Amino acid sequence: MALTNGHHVFGSLHEDAFNKFIKAYRTARPKYFYYACPPLGAGTADVDFWVIPPLPVPGTDAGMPISVQILEAKLDFTPPQAGLNLPAPLVLGPNQFAFIATLEVCFLCGSLIAMPVPPDDKNRENPNSPKRRPPQKDGRPSRDCTKLSVWAIGHPVSTANSGGGRDVGLHIDKIIVKDVGALESLIECYTETMVNSLLDSLRYPVEKFALGSFATLNLADGPLIADNQLKVWADIS
């Protein structure tokens, strides 16, 4: 059966290519893989890492610097590669991909950064009272980090873009983060949101997939994951 399956154009990207693309994208746009509140974050802010606010410390007008970095990220399109061990209840089914990553989360413990307080802050009994500072930790601030292993499964999506065409991308359905105790569900929610934001930024317009000058490509079928590839079919108009 013809690859084009009755359509004008067929395109597919193997998981190996996708992983190469992720590496290349990480090199070109490292900030999408590194979120940090200075003084955490290495390199140039907004280039090497995405600047995020500090983690608020309850009861104060200050926050603790935090960073989240995706150290390793890999995709596995169905069928699974040998050696892929997804933790229960994750199962890689038809038209799905697995996402395996290692995250490093760091706090700059003992360091506090003043945070802007909304002008209509009603939390203080006396709005004119001086800002409350938490008790300072003795000694110098220390960078405390932990690494988290993340497993996820998801499916390909297509969404309308501003150019009137369709963007093809990936979306996480379920994520598992182990060894974080009672915080597991919270960290899973946080991580899923972060990874999906990253995947959203990697969506690609179908119109640019193969043709540039002569004609317009319109997504006709897919995206579909099968045979370790992400597949799309398009018609030329």
Partner 1 sequence: MDATIAVSEPGVNVVLHKAIALAHASKSDSATWGPFQVGYSASVALSGGVAVLENAPANKLDLNNVHVVGSVSAFFTFDLGLILPTICIPPVQVCVDIPFIGRVCTPQFCITWPSVHVPVSLPFAFDLSASFGFRVDDLGTQWGIVLLIDPFSARFDLTPMGPLIIAAIQNEVSNTLGSIPLIGGLIAGLVNTVIGAFSGVLTPILGAFGSLINLVLHCWTCLMSTFRSDCSPSIKSRRLYRRTLQ
Q: Which residue, 111 or 229, is less far from partner 1 as judged by CB? A: 229
Q: Are 98 and 79 in contact (CB under 8 A)?
A: no
Closer to partner 1 by Cβ: residue 85 or 237: 237
What is the C-alpha to C-alpha distance for residues 18 and 74, in angstroms, rounded to an integer?
9
**Minimum separation from the CB atom of position 162 to partner 1 (A):** 22
**What b/e readout covers 118-129, taking b as 16+ CB neighbours within 10 angstroms?**
eeeeeeeeeeee
Q: Determine how many CB atoms are found less than 10 A away from the CB of residue 107.
A: 20
Longest dimension (CA), the chain: 76
Q: What's the rounded Cα separation, in Å, for the pair 64 and 168? A: 37
* Nearer of residues 166 and 231 to partner 1, judged by Cβ: 231
Our CB check for partner 1 shows the closer of 14 and 133 to be 14
> Residue 232 corresponds to which tokens in the numbers above?
């799309």
Question: Closer CB to partner 1, residue 58 or residue 214?
Answer: 214
Q: How far is the CB of 8 from partner 1 (least distance, A)?
A: 3
Query: 16 φ, ψ to 5°?
Result: -60, -40
Q: How near is the Cβ of 5 to partner 1 at its closest, in Å?
A: 9
Residues that bind partner 1 (CB under 8 A): 2-4, 6-14, 16-17, 20, 209-215, 229, 235-237
Q: What ranges make up the beta strands (E) of the chain?
A: 9-14, 34-36, 50-51, 55-56, 62-64, 66-77, 97-109, 113-114, 142-160, 166-177, 204-205, 217-226, 229-236
In the bound state with partner 1, the residue whose beta carbon lies nearer, of 36 and 232, is 232
Four-point Cα dihedral 155, 158, 159, 160, nearest 10: 180
